[in-house]
């Protein structure tokens, strides 16, 4: 007969079961089991690849698309140069894989990184532990626009042009006069840098807020009033 009979998967008539040798039935079951294992293995591999690739293709910060681009060795050295003779706490805004935070910690800073991408934060923590500076570093999963940086005295930021005006305003409102802000790759639009080093994409600009906010003028006025 050419008629097709619909049945639930795995259903088998007693007569048909007798016609199929036992070895073939057991072999089919084994092949089915191996198929499930292979499927599970492939699925697990794809999930693992997605987890590894995600930090490199998703934005690191909200509001502005800021993809993860690792700092070059020259950029790190230029940042450290701008931190010479500086002390106090340090924060890297959009810390990526943590290389700036770790480099600063090795120079004696209590360094903190804020990063929205959890995979990068976990990797940064691992790197800090591997390099023996985990006690001097902290990494937080957070949106920079929801964090106050008022208690930091050294700020490092790898930004993009679209975010710099808004970030400039935010930092100007929050930070104290003795804070130094170090911008990498792109400068702030209104502030005039006090120091600049590097060339091309490795250029680093340092801004001392005492000048940007007119703190020197305020100090002079207070001193004059005290003397009089």
- DSSP-assigned states of every residue in 156-207: EEE--TTTHHHHHHHHHHH--TT-EEEEESS--SSPPPSEEE--GGG-EEEE
Does the residue 129 lie in any domain? yes
Does the residue 22 lie in any domain? no
How many domains is the chain partitioned into structurally? 1
Task: pLDDT tens for the chain, 228 residues: list them.
Answer: 334 333 344 444 555 445 555 555 555 555 555 555 545 554 555 444 444 444 444 444 444 545 677 889 999 999 999 999 999 899 999 999 999 999 999 999 999 999 999 999 999 999 999 999 999 999 999 988 999 999 999 999 988 888 899 999 999 999 988 899 999 989 999 999 999 999 998 999 999 987 555 565 443 343 444 444
Does the residue 184 lie in any domain? yes
The DSSP letter of residue 208 is: E
- Residue 33 φ/ψ, nearest 5 degrees: -65, -45
pTM of the model: 0.66
pLDDT value for 36: 55
pLDDT value for 44: 53
List Cα–Cα distances, 31 to 35, 36, 185, in angstroms.
Answer: 6, 9, 57
59 class by beta-carbon count within 10 Å (0-12 exposed, 13-18 middle, 19+ buried): middle
Does the residue 135 lie in any domain? yes
Which of 86, 55, 53, 50 minimizes the C-alpha distance to 206? 86
pLDDT value for 184: 93
pLDDT value for 69: 77
Does the residue 84 lie in any domain? yes
Domain that holds residue 179: 73-219
* DSSP string covering 89-148: EEEEET-TTSHHHHHHHHTT-EEEEEES-HHHHHHHHHHHHHTT-GGGEEEEE--GGG--
Does the residue 25 lie in any domain? no
Does the residue 19 lie in any domain? no
How many other CB atoms sit within 10 Å of the CB of residue 128? Answer: 22
Does the residue 120 lie in any domain? yes
- Return d(Cα 83, Cα 116) in angstroms, integer: 25
The DSSP letter of residue 60 is: S
Which of 61, 63, 65 minimizes the C-alpha distance to 95? 61
- Return d(Cα 202, Cα 75) in angstroms, integer: 5
List Cα–Cα distances, 81 to 11, 84, 89, 109, 203, in angstroms.
Answer: 75, 5, 16, 14, 12
Domain with residue 103: its CATH number is 3.40.50.150
- Return d(Cα 222, Cα 127) in angstroms, integer: 47
């Amino acid at each position: 007969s050419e008629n097709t009979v619909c049945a639930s998967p795995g259903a088998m008539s007693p007569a048909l079961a007798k016609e199929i040798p036992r070895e073939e039935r057991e072999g089919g079951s084994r092949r089915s089991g191996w198929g499930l294992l292979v499927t599970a293995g492939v699925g697990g591999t794809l999930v693992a690849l997605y987890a590894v690739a995600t930090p490199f293709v998703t934005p690191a910060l909200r509001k502005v698309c800021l993809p993860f681009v690792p700092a070059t060795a020259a950029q790190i050295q230029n940042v450290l140069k701008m931190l010479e003779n500086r002390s106090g706490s340090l924060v890297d805004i959009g810390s990526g894989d943590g290389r700036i935070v770790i480099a600063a910690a090795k120079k004696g800073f209590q360094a903190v990184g804020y990063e929205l991408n959890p995979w990068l934060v976990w990797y940064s923590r691992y790197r800090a532990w591997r390099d023996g500076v985990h006690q001097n570093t902290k990494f937080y999963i957070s949106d920079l626009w929801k964090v106050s940086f008022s208690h930091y005295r050294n700020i490092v930021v790898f930004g993009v042009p679209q975010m710099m005006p808004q970030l400039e305003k935010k930092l100007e409102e929050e930070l104290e006069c003795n804070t130094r802000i170090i911008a990498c790759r792109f400068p702030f639009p209104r502030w005039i840098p006090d120091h600049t080093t590097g060339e091309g994409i490795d250029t680093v600009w340092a801004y001392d807020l005492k000048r940007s906010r007119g703190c020197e003028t305020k100090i002079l006025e207070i001193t004059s009033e005290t003397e009089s």
